[in-house]
Structure 1
Amino acid sequence: MSDTTLTQLAPLASDFYGYESLLSDQEKSVLAELRQYLEAEVRPLVNDYWARAEFPTQIIQKLADLKLFGMPWDETKPFENSAVFRGWVALELARVDASVATFVGVQNGLTMGSIAVCGSPEQRAEWLPRLASGELIGAFGLTEPLSGSDSAQGLRTVATRDGDDWILNGSKRWIGNATFSDITVIWAKSTEDGQVKGFVVPTSTPGYTAAKIENKQALRIVQNADITLENVRVPESNRLQNGNSFRDTAKVLRLTRAEVAWAAVGNSIGAYEAALKYASERVQFGKTIASHQLVQDLLVKSLGNITASLGMVVRVSQLLDEGTQRDEHASLAKSFTTSRMRETVGYAREILGGNGIVLDYDVARYFADAEALYSYEGTREMNTLIVGRSITGQAAFV
């Protein structure tokens, strides 16, 4: 999009303090185009796909055309954009559907982020443009059936050197996009030095299998899978050359954790907007319930949660732009915003009464999806301990 055809961004009423004003004109234009597309083409689909636990693959190419994949990475970014803008993108996606936001986060932040942060220049050149264009779909394989919060030490998937190749054996769980990904970044512990290393694994490799996790009651559109690795042979050229310990893996997670906090704010806004619309239309005792004091109290509490959370995520992204963001900054934002999100979607469900548990009014979807956002990319407890270590100087993880 050229500067002469900038699309006007109408401010969100739920952005009560006007944080969108911090964006550049170019960023506002791209955000406006994204918002228009999501409202016109994605929102009408999501309840049906959520109910069926299927992913609307027809939206992938448009998301790629909007340059949502690869925004932070030099080889692919369409213009200079800020971390605050990238956060707003996550918010806009989650405001319509948290599953779509998660899909983009896995493709852009976790998969492409792993290659951008831990890959060699040659690996970046090979994989990032194809992921950015949507030619390839990526997944990020860290969590395991018996290893989640303790991934730094508890990984059981192993990588054994065999000449110019590596042999991977183990299993992964809760891997988003993995039922239809073309490549998956697998993190495994080397049997040589005991350090965690990353590998770009084409999903067509013999010994690699992915089975969809059924019966989820949150983020049902996200295609999570259990991955099994049985003597999967990967060439040394596919080992991420700068991913040589879990400290390197953590660099990727540091960049993506704050965007999960932004998505939590987006999910809160989606629920709040749906509840406000409902309250403005639903008549009880001869007038709309929006005119009742108790309903207004719930709406104002929701807006307060959203506004406080927005202030936090804006600042943590500014710190990233300034190069001063630390792990504890992102962890506090993720812990706080997801906790406030849980409260906010509860208020929205309360406002809708019985209608809050059916998909027709959207709130039931936001309510359920909040539980997944609350847990992934570090539980509240783990993020609390990261912040606690920072402020006390004492580690209390075990």
Structure 2
Amino acid sequence: MGFFQNIKQGYRLFQKIDMNQLAKLNEKVNLAEAMEKFAQLDDNQLNSLMKMLNSTKKKKELPEINPDFYELSDKLTPDQRALQLKVRNFMETEVAPIVNEYWLKDEFPHELIPKFGALGLAGVTYEGYGCPNLPFLMEGVLANEMARVDASIATFFGVQSGLTMGSIYLCGSEEQKQEWLPAMNKFEKIGAFGLTEPEVGSGAAGGLTTTCQKTTDGWVLNGQKKWIGNATFADVVVIWARDLEDGEVKGFLVRKENPGFSVEKIKGKMALRIVQNGLITLKDCVVEEKDRLAHANSFKDTANVLRMTRAGVAWMAVGCARGAYENALDYTRKRKQFGKPIASFQLIQNHLVEMLSNLTAMQTLVFRLSELQDEDRLLDEHASLAKVFCTLRTRDIVRGAREVMGGNGILLEHNVARFVADAEAIYSYEGTKEINTLIVGRSITGFSAFV
């Protein structure tokens, strides 16, 4: 019965073909031979053929690219979610179109500064002085959104909002806060944070070589600071120096016009090329007493700033990984080899799932980390564990993203090569993997392995 039904269906299809179409078809296909073959088909073969003839090719609808696989954004309030999407839109419309160009040129897009000011988000968690006073969770969420498009811009914001404004907020006098924080919130003034030195990175707690000495005119600073983000165009730099009198670390607000202060741009970087890192030289640099951070009297005060901002760096690593994953997934669904999108191949799917697994673990970790911070329970080892794990896994994810894109993965236009390079800088700054590991190790064993 099936055979005769299919014959009738086939006959009806041929009836719809006019003589011109039939003539053209006969030029390409021997219709007599085709009908003879057609008559030899069994029911299963005929059914398959009829399905093919009756079908219209539909474009496959693919699922939405959703790196938030466990829907952590559902835990945000409606206002928080709206702010997250506002920053996402800003990054996608204002930053994404120009970021590769500036990354390649090793320059900073200064035209973005007033636009950041209009957002009014710097000093995310601080109370007063025009700052938003948002939960620490949102500071992390916003860092993630920025790094998802570009880690350099996220770093610029973090230096301004976290390290510099944080130093003033935690350690400054009321007069210092009033002078700097409202202007920095609007990005009318740009700040930088000077701790690392040419020969002193991880050993900053006990080995700073930059010195300060009290005089009748205020303070005199001597030494150098290296890798200082924003330094080439900052209006003020927070400088940490060791007091020659008591040996304690003190903080200073050094203005760009201060005598004895100079900056040289660090060139030749392979990562975070948009960030303008500087080598600062302080040669008998005179700083007035009013510009000494009033409540910065030991390295413990410096460490309080670093602890507050280190969680944000872990979130930044998550954003970098997320951006790489999103671009890689999108690419594999469009790129075809052997007549199919490469996303349909088993080995590519294995890479993508490994990337998503790491990303999801990172997201849940930093989410809980920020909850602890909002509960005022954040410890050094909490932030250090997040920094270690997230930067390690970010390296894995960006490598996987580059791999599934083949040779195209090294081209800026495909938006993964930049993440691959930038992940290396995030891996090292705000405490190397080794130093943060030893902080956690000391916490869980009770023994300090530091030299």
TM-score range, shorter chain: over 0.9
Distance in structure 1 (CA, Å) of the matches to 2:449 and 2:128 = 40
CA contact (8 A) 1:183 1:200 kept: yes
1:214 paired with 2:267, answer: yes
1:249 counterpart (295, 299, 302): 302
Identify if the C-alpha distance between structure 1 residues 134 and 79 changes in structure 2 by more than 3 Å, giving closer, same or farther. closer
Count of aligned residue pairs for this structure pair: 388
Alignment correspondent of 2:209: 156
> Aligned-pair distance for 1:358?
1.2
Alignment correspondent of 2:45: none
Identify if the C-alpha distance between structure 1 residues 285 and 37 changes in structure 2 by more than 3 Å, giving closer, same or farther. same
Identify if the C-alpha distance between structure 1 residues 72 and 338 changes in structure 2 by more than 3 Å, giving closer, same or farther. same
1:346 paired with 2:424, answer: no
User: Which amino acid is 1:16 matched to?
Assistant: F
2:196 counterpart (135, 140, 143): 143
* 1:292-307 equivalences in 2 (<5 Å): 292-307=345-360
Alignment correspondent of 1:318: 371
Distance in structure 2 (CA, Å) of the matches to 1:40 and 1:128 = 27
Look up the SS of the partner of 2:378 in the other structure.
Answer: coil
Look up the SS of the partner of 2:193 in the other structure.
Answer: strand
Look up the SS of the partner of 1:179 in the other structure.
Answer: helix
Alignment correspondent of 2:389: 336
1:82 counterpart (126, 132, 135): 135
1:327 paired with 2:371, answer: no
- Deviation digits for residues 28-54 of structure 1, max 9, x if unmatched? 111111111111111000000000000
1:231 counterpart (272, 284, 298): 284
CA contact (8 A) 1:23 1:84 kept: no
Distance in structure 2 (CA, Å) of the matches to 1:26 and 1:204 = 41
1:57 paired with 2:110, answer: yes
1:42 counterpart (95, 118, 121): 95
Distance in structure 1 (CA, Å) of the matches to 2:132 and 2:426 = 29
- Deviation digits for residues 296-336 of structure 1, max 9, x if unmatched? 00100000111000111011110010001000000000000
> Aligned-pair distance for 1:76?
3.5
Distance in structure 2 (CA, Å) of the matches to 1:67 and 1:390 = 38
> Aligned-pair distance for 1:78?
5.1
Distance in structure 1 (CA, Å) of the matches to 2:292 and 2:132 = 29
Structure 1 residues 156-165 or 95-104, which shifts more? 156-165
CA contact (8 A) 1:309 1:337 kept: yes
Alignment correspondent of 1:204: 257
CA contact (8 A) 2:388 2:437 kept: yes
Distance in structure 2 (CA, Å) of the matches to 1:384 and 1:79 = 33
Distance in structure 2 (CA, Å) of the matches to 1:224 and 1:33 = 28
2:172 counterpart (119, 142, 151): 119
* 1:5-16 equivalences in 2 (<5 Å): 13-16=66-69
Distance in structure 2 (CA, Å) of the matches to 1:95 and 1:89 = 10
User: Which amino acid is 1:74 matched to?
Assistant: E
CA contact (8 A) 1:27 1:81 kept: no
Q: Percent identity?
A: 55
Q: Once superposed, what is the RMSD of the aligned Cα atoms?
A: 1.1
Distance in structure 2 (CA, Å) of the matches to 1:76 and 1:318 = 24
CA contact (8 A) 1:75 1:125 kept: no
Alignment correspondent of 1:286: 339
1:20 paired with 2:73, answer: yes
Distance in structure 2 (CA, Å) of the matches to 1:393 and 1:86 = 31
User: Which amino acid is 2:342 matched to?
Assistant: I
Alignment correspondent of 1:173: 226
> Aligned-pair distance for 1:77?
5.2
CA contact (8 A) 2:65 2:326 kept: no
Alignment correspondent of 2:313: 260
> Aligned-pair distance for 1:387?
0.3
Larger Rg: 2
Q: Larger RCO: Structure 1 or Structure 2 (Cα < 8 Å, ≥ 6 residues apart)? A: 1
Distance in structure 2 (CA, Å) of the matches to 1:246 and 1:394 = 21
- Deviation digits for residues 117-163 of structure 1, max 9, x if unmatched? 11112211111111111110000000000000000011000000002
- Deviation digits for residues 172-210 of structure 1, max 9, x if unmatched? 000000010010000000011100000000011111110
User: Which amino acid is 1:185 matched to?
Assistant: V
1:370 paired with 2:428, answer: no
Distance in structure 2 (CA, Å) of the matches to 1:255 and 1:43 = 28
Alignment correspondent of 2:36: none
1:106 counterpart (140, 159, 162): 159
User: Which amino acid is 2:255 matched to?
Assistant: P
User: Which amino acid is 1:366 matched to?
Assistant: F
Look up the SS of the partner of 2:233 in the other structure.
Answer: coil
User: Which amino acid is 2:105 matched to?
Assistant: R
TM-score by length of 1: 0.96
User: Which amino acid is 1:229 matched to?
Assistant: L
1:379 counterpart (418, 422, 432): 432
Distance in structure 2 (CA, Å) of the matches to 1:349 and 1:385 = 31
1:182 counterpart (235, 252, 256): 235
Distance in structure 2 (CA, Å) of the matches to 1:290 and 1:76 = 50
Distance in structure 1 (CA, Å) of the matches to 2:365 and 2:112 = 31
CA contact (8 A) 1:68 1:104 kept: no
